[in-house]
């Protein structure tokens, strides 16, 4: 079953009373009263990127495409949150250093970031 079919069949009814959820037809949540916009995306190996051999390029793609979702809605992002899962090979010391360096570079390129929060990486 396709993503949108799953949402329509199982989850859209849960958000009918909340206009900010946009009927779950968008990956952006708006709460105009609280001036809050949240965007969430999931990126999968072999679907959204070929492999994780160049984690710096994968992270650039993830950050830039996620931020563009907000910018296209007329929002100036202030924060971003990253959560990931992978194995010890994916999150080796070398790869984590590349990821950290890339995030630092992206923050410099996109001057509107104030804080980076990385809650956890789940390593399987």
Residue pLDDT tens, the chain, 124 long: 777 788 888 988 888 887 777 777 777 788 888 888 888 777 877 877 788 889 899 889 888 888 888 888 888 887 777 878 788 888 899 999 999 999 888 888 775 554 444 444 555 4
Q: Which one-letter DSSP state was computed for residue 76? A: -
Bridge partners, 30 (sequence order): 37
| CA pair distance 64, 77, nearest whole angstrom | 12
Long-range Cβ contacts of 20-27 (<8 Å, 24+ apart): 27/69
| CA pair distance 123, 77, nearest whole angstrom | 28
Q: For the chain, list the domains and their CATH numbers.
A: 1-40 (no CATH), 45-124 (3.30.1330.10)
């Amino acid at each position: 079953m396709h993503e949108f079919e799953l949402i329509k069949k199982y989850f859209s009814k849960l958000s009918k009373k909340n206009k900010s959820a946009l009927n779950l037809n968008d990956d952006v949540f708006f709460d105009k009263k609280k001036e809050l916009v949240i965007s969430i995306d999931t990126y999968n190996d072999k679907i959204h990127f070929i492999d994780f051999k160049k984690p710096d390029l994968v992270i650039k793609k993830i950050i830039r495409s996620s931020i563009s979702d907000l910018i296209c809605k007329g929002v100036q992002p202030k924060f971003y949150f990253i959560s990931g899962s992978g194995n010890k090979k994916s999150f080796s010391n070398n790869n984590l250093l590349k990821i950290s360096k890339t995030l630092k570079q992206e923050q410099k390129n996109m001057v509107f970031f104030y804080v980076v929060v990385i809650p956890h990486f789940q390593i399987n």
